[in-house]
Amino acid sequence: MKRINNSVIALSLFAGMVYTHAQEKKQLTLDEAVQLGIQNSKSLKIDAAKIEEATADLLEAKNRQLPELKVSGSYMYLPIKPTVDLKLPGVSSAGGPEVHQVAFGSANLSIPLYSGGKIKYGIQSAKYLVEASKLSTENDKIAIAYNVAQAYNNLFKANQSIKVLEENLTASQKRDETFLKLENNGVIARNDRLKANLQTSNIELQLLEAKNNYNIANINMDLLLGLPDATEIEVDQNYIDESDDVKTVDFYLNAARENRKDLQALDQQRKAAQLGTKSAKAENLPSIALTGGYVAADIPKFLTVYNAVNVGVGISYNLSNLWKENSALKQSQAREMQLSATNDLLNDNIKLDVNREYQNSDYSKKRIAVFEKSAEQANENYRITKNKYDNGLATMTELLDADAAQISANVGVINAKADAALAYRKLLQTTGTLTIK
């Protein structure tokens, strides 16, 4: 029997260790959560690849201004004796040497001198596009920071709701015990006791819903932050006190014009498109390059050539440009028009977003005062109703209604404060000033 008991104890300890490990807890402030979200963001990894691609395009554009050096060589074996007929005066082809192999080699150097500005425009355009990719990444970081804050807010609200409901459930269960004794002593009717039990059941259902919401919010946070699925995140209780005083709407509109990364990225794209138009116009201009070469040939018993060096200037011009439409120019001009219209639309959307989130933030702050007042009234109403009920001046229904209103009001205060903190962060996101520490 003792061995069995020891085995049971050991198994229980082991199960407890496994459960503790599976339910690992991690306390995180909002800033720490944002950092984890950025570090493990899959979309930012895609952005990093786009930056690498734009940087490679810049390298390719720079390579076009460097000299081109090409070396070629060939060797040929001639299994059949070729017919050689020399046309040089005084030289006879009869009885000439038998040629069975030929070796040939050459080296050509080309240094671009003038290309109508295509190389210069291409390099500068590629630089603008690299900068645009980096700015787009910064904009995505701000969006991720807000998404993490939103998930953190949901987790905070669910956690606080659980705490409030657990406190009220404990109080309601104690009240049920008291009412059961009163019923047994004939002080209250069975119907009144059952009403109290029903209230307890409703609180239990609310608590189950809150825990379910918490679990879903916790899983969402784990995925966003790249943590193991079983990690239970403990939120910072000071989160709801992080919002600052809201300034005027003009302040946030000016901040958006100066700090919105997507607006800055679009500006870089427009600059690149303008250079693309200049580069397309340069297609109608000739290209000039400094050229040089070396040729060597060896035909045994017949001909040997070496030190055949040449230097010159090469001019290239596509005459078909005289009658062909410059499609690249039209495409680039259309791209400029598209980006210009996109810029106007983005500015309109920024105005709308900032004004909307400014109103939402102001509304959220005002809601806190209303909910706090409601909570004070609900708590006082419950105290008065409880006192009346104890003195036989209020019904059980009135007492339970007052208790339900008290629970709802207290949860409402917490949710209102959390929503106000999130609304303020949303306002900062729309202005591009949401800080990432």
DSSP 162-193: HHHHHHHHHHHHHHHHHHHHHHHTTSS-HHHH
**pLDDT above 90 for 340:** yes
What's the pLDDT band for 344 if we cut at 50, 70, 90?
very high
Tell me if 254 is assigned to some domain.
yes
Tell me if 61 is assigned to some domain.
yes
**pLDDT above 60 for 389:** yes
Tell me if 276 is assigned to some domain.
yes
Q: 265 and 136 in contact (C-beta within 8 Å)?
A: yes
What's the pLDDT band for 72 if we cut at 50, 70, 90?
very high
CA distance 61 to 123: 5
**pLDDT above 50 for 65:** yes
Q: 421 and 240 in contact (C-beta within 8 Å)?
A: yes
Kindly state the helix (H) or strand (E) to which residue 77 belongs, with its residue range.
strand 68-77
Which residue type, as a one-letter code, is found at position 63?
N
Tell me if 308 is assigned to some domain.
no
Integer CA distances (angstroms), 101 to 75, 85, 106, 121, 304, in order: 7, 17, 17, 49, 12
Q: 62 and 137 in contact (C-beta within 8 Å)?
A: no
CA distance 135 to 261: 5
Tell me if 135 is assigned to some domain.
yes
| 413-426 tens-digit pLDDT | 988 998 998 999 99
Say how many C-beta atoms besides its own lie within 10 A of residue 369's C-beta. Answer: 10
**pLDDT above 70 for 16:** no
Tell me if 238 is assigned to some domain.
yes
Tell me if 426 is assigned to some domain.
yes
Tell me if 320 is assigned to some domain.
no
What percent of the chain clears pLDDT 90, i.e. is strictly above it? 40
- The pTM assigned to this predicted structure is 0.78
Beta strand 232-235 with 25-28 is parallel
Say how many C-beta atoms besides its own lie within 10 A of residue 29's C-beta. Answer: 15
Q: Which domain holds residue 190?
A: 46-67+115-286+331-431
**What's the CATH number where 337 sits?**
1.20.1600.10
Instruction: Give the number of domains in the chain.
Output: 1
Can you tell me the mean pLDDT for 40-58? 92
